[in-house]
């Protein structure tokens, strides 16, 4: 899974960056501990996961708490504060990728009446940067800023397919294929790599109840000026409304047209 904050910190230290501020780096290491599945931690857990000594961790947390980046819960737990959300929102609003793709994605969502997403690869996860959601409650648990395992999602598989074999192995080196997923999810890196080869050849990726039962999606790449995708976009549907043939047919064609539009905007920006 993701590299630990301790590993990231030690890697940064080894680079010998003379401008590096260790106290700031420790604060960022603490903030990186929180994600979709880790929403609160006790101070001892923060120490254990980062390797930061307790007195230092106490001061780092106290500083971040004072500035609004962390909040203290009644049970002593620590969770991200409102200031973190403000930064994340500003980053998304300021992203040229998000701004340039918003209108085409919204048009596509209105055209097909289904949920449309924009995502990028973040380690072995897909980070959702934009989401135009329909009223289908089946997909209501994902929002902008959410992450899902790349190995199980159409956008994640698509973006992994454009990596070299060595990069795929490195990205998925610590991935737990026994984690909870849908009934059709890959159960090993070998099985996933075989699927990635097919995806790269056909230029799109399907997800057939791999994230969870009842969910399907189709994804295509968005290109800027580089030969690798800048991002991926997908259409997510309920399996009881759309067959795989539907995803490979009208929905894929509409998605590809939108991806061409976004790619042109990126190259022209």
pLDDT tens digits for 85-126? 666 655 555 467 888 899 999 999 999 999 999 999 988 989
- The fold of 5-87 is Arc Repressor Mutant, subunit A (1.10.10)
Domains in the chain: boundaries:
5-87, 95-268
Burial of 185 (0-12, 13-18, 19+ CB in 10 A): buried
Q: Is the pLDDT of residue 20 over 60?
A: yes
CATH topology of domain 95-268: Beta-Lactamase (3.30.450)
* Predicted confidence band of residue 269 (pLDDT cuts 50, 70, 90): confident
Contact 109, 116 (CB under 8 A): yes
pLDDT number for residue 145: 77
Mean pLDDT of the region 120-141? 78
Segment 186-227, tens digit of pLDDT: 999 899 999 999 999 999 999 999 999 999 999 999 999 888
**Block residue for tokens 């790269």:** 200
Give the closest residue to 147 by CA, choosing from 175, 113, 119. 119
Which residues make beta-bridge pairs with 78? 41, 72
Mapped onto helix, strand or coil, the DSSP state of residue 131 is strand
How far apart CA 126 and CA 133 sit, in angstroms, is 17
Mean pLDDT for the stretch of residues 124-146 = 76
Q: How many CB atoms lie within 10 A of CB 74?
A: 5
| Residue 225 DSSP label | S
Query: How many of the other CB atoms lie within 10 Å of CB of 71?
Result: 16
**pLDDT number for residue 111:** 94
**pLDDT of residue 14 exceeding 80:** no
pTM for this model (two decimals): 0.69
- Across the range 67-72, mean pLDDT stands at 90
């Amino acid at each position: 899974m993701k590299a630990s904050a301790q590993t990231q910190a030690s890697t940064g230290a080894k680079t010998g960056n003379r401008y590096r501020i260790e106290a700031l780096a420790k604060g960022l290491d603490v903030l990186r501990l929180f994600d979709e599945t880790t929403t609160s931690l006790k101070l001892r857990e923060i120490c254990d996961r980062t390797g930061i000594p307790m007195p230092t961790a106490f001061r780092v947390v106290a500083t971040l708490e004072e500035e609004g980046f962390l909040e203290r819960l009644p049970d002593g737990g620590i969770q991200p504060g409102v200031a973190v959300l403000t930064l994340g929102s500003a980053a998304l609003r300021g992203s040229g990728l998000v701004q340039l793709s918003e209108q085409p994605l919204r048009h596509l969502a209105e055209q097909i009446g289904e949920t449309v997403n924009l995502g990028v690869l973040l380690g072995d996860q897909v980070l959702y940067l934009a989401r135009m959601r329909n009223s289908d409650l089946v997909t209501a648990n994902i929002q902008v800023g959410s992450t899902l395992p790349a190995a199980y999602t159409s956008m994640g598989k698509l973006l992994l397919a454009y990596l070299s074999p060595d990069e795929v192995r490195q990205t998925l080196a610590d991935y737990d294929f026994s984690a909870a997923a849908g009934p059709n999810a890959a159960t090993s890196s070998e099985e996933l790599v075989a699927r990635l080869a097919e995806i790269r050849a056909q230029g799109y990726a399907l997800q057939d109840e791999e994230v969870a039962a009842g969910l399907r999606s189709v994804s295509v790449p968005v290109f800027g000026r580089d030969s690798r995708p800048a991002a991926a976009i997908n259409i997510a549907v309920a399996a009881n409304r759309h067959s795989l043939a539907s995803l490979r047919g009208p929905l894929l064609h509409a998605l590809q047209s939108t991806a061409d539009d976004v790619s042109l905007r990126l190259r022209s920006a």
